[in-house]
Amino acid sequence: MEFSRIYVKHVLERSYRHWASAFLEEFRQQNRAHLVMLARQKIIDSETASGLKNSISELDATIEIPEEFPAGVEDLFFYYEEQLGIILGEKAGSLHTARSRNDMDATVFRLYVRKLMISLMKQMLLMVEAVKEKIGVSEEQLLVLYTHGQPAQVSTLAHYLSSFLIEFLEGLEGLNASIRVVNQCPLGAAAITTTGFNIDRQLVSDLLGFEKPVPNSYQAIVTSHWLTYPSMWFKSILNDITRLMADMGHKASCEVGILSFPDELVQVSSIMPQKRNPVIIEHIRIQAGMAAGDFQSLIDLFHNVPYQDVNEVADAPITSFTRGCETLSGLLELLEETLLKVSVDEQRVSNIALSTGTTTTELADELVRREGISFRTAHSVTSTYVKSGYSLEALRGRFSELVGRALSMNDMELREVLSPQHFVQIRNIPGGPSISGMKSVVSSIEEKAYLITDSLDELIERVVDSEKRLSADFNALG
């Protein structure tokens, strides 16, 4: 059959090139696993299995994929089968016994997505360890935190970065759950209902390093979860990254100026000599937005798509997934560089903290503790202090007016309570910014990272072991 030139140009040729550039290794793996299973189950005889094994080995070692879309075939699968037939003859067709392009393709795609996810998750965990070290040396670096764009309270750089890192790890936990959805084997589902041959789906699943076969053979072919679940979690992580970058950009602005970056991460203006532009933040945001767009397109793609074997669950959408993963990998390097090299202008932090009343919450709290008044009264007294331009005299006057007696605290005690260092140190509740409060935060980071790392290491070990077993079993066919 001769296809439309336009259809070939915009569909078949693109798919062919995509398979040739992205999926060959996974295609070879599932061919070999399927052959081992056919032989083990005696669905094909030993002579045929041996001939197929030798022919596949020869073809995989010598095949040259034409740059131009080959005439007379529909896709790379049929081209490969044709070339295998040239070597082995009619028996080459036995490789496709009890298998469809449906379950074969679905298996190849999951193997490929699993590979991308493992690589990115490993990179993410390495970044977590690097930023965790930064947190460890930043526990006493004061930082003003903002709410609604206004100075709010004093904290530390460690407290700030660890908040993001926990969110990042929650995203990784989501990825770790979604990779278990990806890591289920469709092979053996055939078109959609399995086969009358006595196949062993578990054997194939094990040989390919999957956790288990997809439970339902129809689901194995029609589901989009192997693509949409990782996409949702990648997009969530990217959203968190863009929010952090937007906030760091605000804190690095001239008007705020509490975060700064070394010369190697800033650019100057071609005309304005005073400019130091932390554009690395913008490039992270841009790349995160582009990657998020790729992942969101996959989430949106399946709206109102029939729950059938359709081409939305084929190779074309994986181009967006691949592009998103590649962009994400690059911006993770930029993000790590940014977080490790950002510094705090401690003098600027102190000036903002004291001039904008960011420690006055603690003054109100201390009035409650030491003077035995209600918090609402303490809040009113402290508000008067703020509105007066931080006049201790106004503070004392308002206290006497509302409480009916003089404030017992002297000026030195009041200034100590209002100091940024004291504000942080007294907040030693688990989760707070003090060194003792941060212990539970760091423990949470370590626990999450350990569980994800352990799970990922287990998966990688399973994949490596399965590759060794597949190679040995395939070579043993004769």
Q: Start-end ranges of CATH 1.20.200.10 in the chain?
A: 102-138+155-343+440-472
Query: Along the 478 residues of the chain, how does pLDDT read in single tens digits?
Result: 688 889 889 998 999 899 999 999 999 999 999 999 999 999 999 999 999 999 999 999 999 999 888 888 888 899 999 999 999 999 999 999 999 999 999 999 999 999 999 999 999 999 999 999 999 999 999 999 999 999 999 999 999 999 999 999 999 999 999 999 999 999 999 999 999 999 999 999 999 999 999 999 999 999 999 999 999 999 999 999 999 999 999 999 989 999 999 999 988 877 888 878 889 999 999 999 999 999 999 999 999 999 999 999 999 999 999 999 999 999 999 999 999 999 999 999 999 999 999 999 999 999 999 999 999 999 999 999 999 999 999 999 999 999 999 999 999 999 999 999 999 999 999 999 999 999 999 999 999 999 999 999 999 999 999 999 999 999 999 8
The structure's pTM equals 0.94
As a three-state string, the secondary structure of the chain is CCCCHHHHHHHHHHHHHHHHHHHHHHHHHHHHHHHHHHHHCCCCCHHHHHHHHHHHHHHHHHCCCCCCCCCCCCCHHHHHHHHHHHHHHHHHHHHHCCCCHHHHHHHHHHHHHHHHHHHHHHHHHHHHHHHHHHHHCCCCCEEEEEECCEEEEEEEHHHHHHHHHHHHHHHHHHHHHHHHHHCEECCCCCCCCCCCCCCCHHHHHHHCCCCEECCCHHHHHHCCHHHHHHHHHHHHHHHHHHHHHHHHHHHCCCCCCCEECCHHHCECCCCCCCCCECHHHHHHHHHHHHHHHHHHHHHHHCCCCCCCCCHHHCCCCHHHHHHHHHHHHHHHHHHHHHHHHCEECHHHHHHHHHHCCCCHHHHHHHHHHHHCCCHHHHHHHHHHHHHCCCCHHHHHHHHHHHHCCCCCCCHHHHHHHHCHHHHHHCCCCCCCCCCCCHHHHHHHHHHHHHHHHHHHHHHHHHHHHHHHHHHHHHHCCC
CATH number of 102-138+155-343+440-472: 1.20.200.10
